[in-house]
């Protein structure tokens, strides 16, 4: 392909369908004879189940079945697993926290599933759930991350003494300690990365049906294949070929919809029991209590500097809340995912990271947009501002002194990551100029004249994308003249249909309007890596490239047959979508040729079709990076913080569609600003109740809370994939929290505040003695 032939701001092709109500989400799916399920959840954070009486529920009109954990155990179902085999720093394995889809003897968080009631209607199922009698022996709970690992705390699991599920380390401890020993200055800072509720626009749902020994599950995931494999191999212990998972349109995922959930298991088991399809759809408060949460770290960071303000080493100790159970990928998020970007864009000589996974009686925590990388970037950028303040060095200058120069690329960091490309200084300078950093003091003075405190903050972020080592694609020429492109990733609102159609059109010369992107059905491809870790374009894009290349090779053979020429004489012009005999005007269009070949096959002739399916090896991940600059204003009378200006300068490599990239950054910044200033997940430390379990008590940012977010893109080509792209989906959420909080600390004259910096928090900081 022409390496930079794709840079058009094409409007999203899926939007007309979605905006006019023609999307099809899981809750839109209804099957003939469908029954409805409701989950009865624990009202207690920690309790022993002493008795369950299902008879009153079975007497409720319309109730078909009441399923308990004992039923699942008797049927031999496996657990809802954690798939990360982490080792402690002493070489022993992490703790196990086995979890059936329904609790059997102990509940460990408010919302823990206890029973599943199946009925003819949703209301009958709700009535049945209210009729189930559960007797609990209520126990003390540990819900506070800061104290759950202290001596004497209530134990969540006997298998995790002191509530520590793992004690993990990475980096060079000896080299780090040696650097600290010769440091001229050490800055220490403890930061809180607050727990957030994901709150996707579309809540989770699932519909299951059996046909003979085959299960079909319709559910909103970020990749059908992971759910299929875990359901088949771990839970039901059946061949994966006998489990089909179909993901329709998905309204937001952000990491939370990656996983196998209890409800997937319950609808499948219940459908088998009642001999009918069974559907479950989450209500909003139920989502607060059952969807995985994100973040929730307390991290001590130590930065060693020499006499010239050069960074020597970084040392971190992170207490990461895992919640009540180790979820699918949970142990990997603060460890392997988060620590690999601790070096960020700076030339540390050494880094050592220690991560402790802490169990609490709270909703399990797993990946949330950025998945460990926002937490690490937040710590580093807050540390740098603190060090600059302690040393009396300008915070711009201290960053410039320590940035890895472009001339050092490819560069291997102190955490062993190989950056293939990056021009950090260029992006940094462009962002400062765009914000008019030099002219800020006049804006501060104007704000002071209005009785407001204004601050400015900067954060340079570096993200490392993730995902599996392969990705699959299939191209099929349909009888209606369309080209179907089957992908192993899953759009949850990112614009994949547009990006993949652009790429396919560019390679095959087929008009975009003749291309259909097909996703979400586990039977269309042998495997799919799903969407997470900002992997989709650089992974699926490579799969589309190798698959379209295969199509073209098959097309040359078919064109040679059709045009009665040698294969070596056939050329393909992707701009025209046409095969031709070199040096002649004889040729055939790719869509016409595909139709001719189908007709030959239908007539019983032995010939070659243009359809192809290929697997791409993903041999390297990418390192998107950029600079966020925020200005905030504080009302000292109320503590209310506003964000009047916000700019981003990003390097996402080659931007296939800059319009979609900017939209992704806007969404990430909105989530980061929400976490920084508004989103407080509050548990009552005595009862373990989630106090912020609805939008009445959990504040998400609204349009009026956000500024215009100005995004510039500076392309520094990625050298490790043929598209030259770097993942863009998570970048906005990585750089925004430290930029906003650094600006707020500046506005408050250096007073340290933790996220979320709510008006109460800010007012108290301003008025503290």
Confidence label for 467 from pLDDT (cuts 50, 70 and 90): confident
Residue 522 pLDDT: 98
From residue 142, give the alpha-carbon distance in Å to each of 360, 363, 485.
5, 12, 49
Q: Determine the pLDDT at residue 3.
A: 36
Query: For tokens 């950093």, what's the residue?
Result: 437
Give CA separation, 621 vs 80, 509, 616, in Å: 29, 29, 13
Region 323-337: mean pLDDT is 98
The stretch 580-585 carries a mean pLDDT of 96
- C-alpha distance from residue 346 to each of 67, 384, 477, 508, 592 (Å): 55, 11, 49, 42, 55
pLDDT digits (tens, 9 = 90+) for 596-627: 999 999 999 999 999 999 999 999 999 999 99
Looking at the predicted structure, is the pLDDT value of residue 1 above 70?
A: no
In this predicted model, what pLDDT tens digit does every residue of 698-749 receive, in sequence order?
999 999 999 999 999 999 999 999 999 999 999 999 999 999 999 999 999 9
Would you state the pLDDT for residue 739?
98
**One-character DSSP codes across 429-472:** HHHHHHHTGGGHHHHHHHHHHTT-EEEEEEEEEE------SEEE
What are the DSSP E strand ranges found in 204-296?
Answer: 205-211, 214-219, 243-246, 278-281, 293-294
Cα–Cα distance, 357 to 87 (Å, whole number): 12
Mean pLDDT within 453-481:
96
Reduced to 3 states, what is the DSSP secondary structure of residue 734?
helix
Check residue 146 and give its pLDDT: 98
Find how far residue 151's CA is from the centre of its chain: 34
Q: How far is it, in rounded angstroms, from Cα 464 to Cα 690?
A: 33
Residue 12 to residue 696: CA distance in whole angstroms: 33
CA–CA separation, 477 vs 600, rounded Å? 14
Average pLDDT over residues 84-105: 98
**Unique residue bearing structure tokens 């969404």:** 667
Which DSSP letter does residue 94 get? P
Check residue 100 and give its pLDDT.
97
Tokens of 723: 């598209």
Question: What per-residue confidence (pLDDT) applies to 7?
Answer: 85
Average pLDDT of the segment spanning 265-283: 98
Q: Identify each DSSP E strand in 495-585 by its residue range.
A: 515-518, 570-573, 578-581
The count of C-alpha atoms lying within 13 angstroms of the C-alpha of 374, restricted to the half-sphere facing its C-beta, is 34
Residue 769's pLDDT is 60
| Residue-wise pLDDT tens digits, 141-195 | 999 999 999 999 999 999 999 999 999 999 999 999 999 999 999 999 999 999 9
Residue at token pair 């969407």: 531
pLDDT of residue 75: 98
Q: Give the H/E segment covering residue 357.
A: strand 350-359
Do residues 428 and 225 touch, judged by C-beta distance below 8 A?
A: no
Residue range 462-490: mean pLDDT, rounded: 96
Cα distance between residue 442 and residue 359, in whole Å: 49
d(CA 515, CA 306): 58
- Residue 33 three-state SS: coil
pLDDT of res. 6: 77
Q: Is 326 exposed, middle or buried (0-12, 13-18, 19+ CB in 10 A)?
A: buried
Percent of the chain topping pLDDT 90:
98
In a 10 Å sphere around its CB, with 0-12 CB exposed, 13-18 middle and 19+ buried, how is residue 483 labelled?
Answer: buried
* Residue at token pair 């991940």: 621
Interval 421-436: pLDDT, tens: 999 999 999 999 999 9
Average pLDDT, the chain: 97
pLDDT at position 373 over 70:
yes
pLDDT of residue 466: 80
pLDDT in tens, 214-236: 999 999 999 999 999 999 999 99
Tell me which residue of 219, 275, 283, 279 sits closest to 245, measured CA to CA.
219
pLDDT higher than threshold 50 for residue 78:
yes
- Is residue 648's pLDDT more than 60? yes
CB under 8 Å to 265, separation ≥6 — which residues?
72, 77, 80, 101, 231, 235
């Amino acid at each position: 392909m022409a390496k930079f032939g794709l840079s058009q701001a094409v409007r999203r092709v899926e939007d007309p369908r979605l905006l006019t109500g023609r999307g099809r989400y899981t809750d839109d799916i209804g099957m003939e004879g469908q029954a409805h399920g409701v989950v009865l959840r624990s009202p207690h954070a920690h309790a022993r189940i002493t008795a369950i009486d299902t008879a009153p529920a079975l007497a409720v009109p319309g109730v078909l079945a009441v399923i308990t954990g004992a039923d699942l155990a008797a049927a031999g179902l496996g657990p809802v697993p954690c798939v990360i085999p982490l080792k402690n720093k002493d070489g022993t394995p992490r703790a196990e926290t086995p979890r059936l889809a329904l609790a059997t003897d102990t509940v460990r968080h408010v919302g823990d599933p206890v029973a599943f009631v199946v009925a003819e209607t949703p209301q009958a199922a709700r009535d049945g759930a209210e009729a189930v009698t559960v007797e609990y022996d209520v126990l003390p709970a540990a819900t506070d991350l800061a104290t759950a690992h202290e001596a004497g705390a209530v134990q969540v699991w006997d298998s995790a003494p002191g509530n520590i599920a793992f004690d993990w380390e990475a980096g060079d401890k000896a080299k780090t300690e040696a650097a600290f020993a010769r440091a001229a200055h050490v800055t220490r800072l403890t930061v809180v990365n607050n727990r957030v509720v994901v709150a996707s626009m579309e809540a989770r749902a699932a519909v299951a049906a059996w046909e003979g020994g085959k299960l079909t599950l319709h559910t909103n995931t970020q990749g059908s294949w992971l759910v299929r494999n875990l359901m088949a191999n771990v839970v039901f212990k059946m061949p994966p070929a006998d489990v089909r998972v179909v993901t329709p349109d998905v309204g937001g995922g952000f990491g939370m919809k990656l996983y196998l959930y209890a409800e997937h298991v319950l609808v499948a088991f219940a459908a088998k029991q009642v001999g009918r399809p069974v559907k479950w759809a989450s209500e909003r408060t139920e989502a607060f209590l059952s969807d995985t949460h994100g973040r929730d770290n307390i991290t001590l960071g130590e930065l060693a500097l020499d006499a010239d303000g050069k960074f020597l080493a970084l040392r971190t100790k992170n207490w990461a809340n895992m919640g009540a159970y180790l979820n699918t990928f949970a142990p990997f998020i603060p460890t392997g995912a988060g620590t690999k970007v601790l070096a960020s864009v700076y030339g540390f000589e050494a880094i050592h990271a220690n991560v402790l996974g802490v169990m609490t009686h709270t909703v399990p925590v797993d990946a949330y947009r950025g998945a460990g990388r926002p937490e690490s970037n937040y710590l580093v950028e807050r540390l740098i501002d603190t060090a600059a303040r302690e040393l009396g060095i300008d915070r711009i200058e201290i960053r410039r002194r320590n940035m890895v120069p472009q001339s050092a690329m490819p560069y291997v960091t102190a955490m062993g990551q190989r950056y293939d490309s990056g021009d950090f200084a260029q992006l940094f300078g462009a962002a400062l100029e765009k914000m008019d950093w030099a002219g800020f003091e006049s804006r501060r003075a104007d704000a002071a004249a209005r009785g407001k405190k204004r601050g400015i903050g900067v954060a340079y972020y570096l993200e490392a994308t993730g995902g599996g080592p392969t990705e699959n694609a299939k191209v099929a020429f349909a009888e209606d003249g369309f080209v179907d492109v089957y992908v192993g990733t899953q759009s949850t609102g990112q614009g994949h249909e547009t990006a993949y159609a652009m790429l396919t059109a560019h390679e095959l010369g087929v008009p975009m309007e003749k291309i259909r992107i097909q996703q979400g059905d586990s039977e269309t491809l042998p495997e799919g890596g799903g969407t997470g870790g900002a992997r989709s374009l650089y992974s699926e894009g490579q799969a589309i490239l190798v698959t379209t290349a295969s199509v073209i090779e098959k097309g040359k053979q078919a064109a040679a047959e059709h045009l009665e020429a040698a294969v070596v004489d056939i050329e393909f012009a992707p701009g025209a979508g046409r095969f031709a005999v070199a040096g002649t005007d004889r040729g055939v269009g790719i869509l016409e040729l595909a139709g001719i070949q189908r007709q030959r096959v239908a007539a019983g002739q032995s010939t070659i079709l243009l359809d192809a399916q290929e697997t791409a090896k993903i041999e390297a991940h990418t390192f998107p990076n950029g600079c966020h600059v925020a200005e905030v204003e504080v009302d000292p009378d109320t503590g209310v913080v506003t964000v009047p200006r916000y700019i981003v300068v990003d390097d996402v490599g080659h931007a296939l569609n800059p319009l979609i990239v900017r939209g992704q950054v806007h969404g990430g910044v909105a989530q980061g600003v929400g976490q920084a200033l508004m989103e407080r997940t509050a548990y009552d430390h005595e009862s373990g109740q989630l106090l912020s379990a609805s939008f009445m008590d959990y504040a998400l940012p609204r349009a009026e809370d956000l500024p215009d977010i100005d995004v510039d893109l500076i392309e520094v080509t990625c050298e490790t994939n043929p598209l030259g792209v770097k993942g863009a989906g998570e970048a906005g959420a990585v750089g925004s929290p430290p930029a906003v909080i650094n600006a707020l600390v500046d506005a408050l004259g250096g007073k340290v505040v933790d996220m979320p910096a709510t008006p109460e928090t800010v007012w108290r900081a301003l008025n503290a003695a």
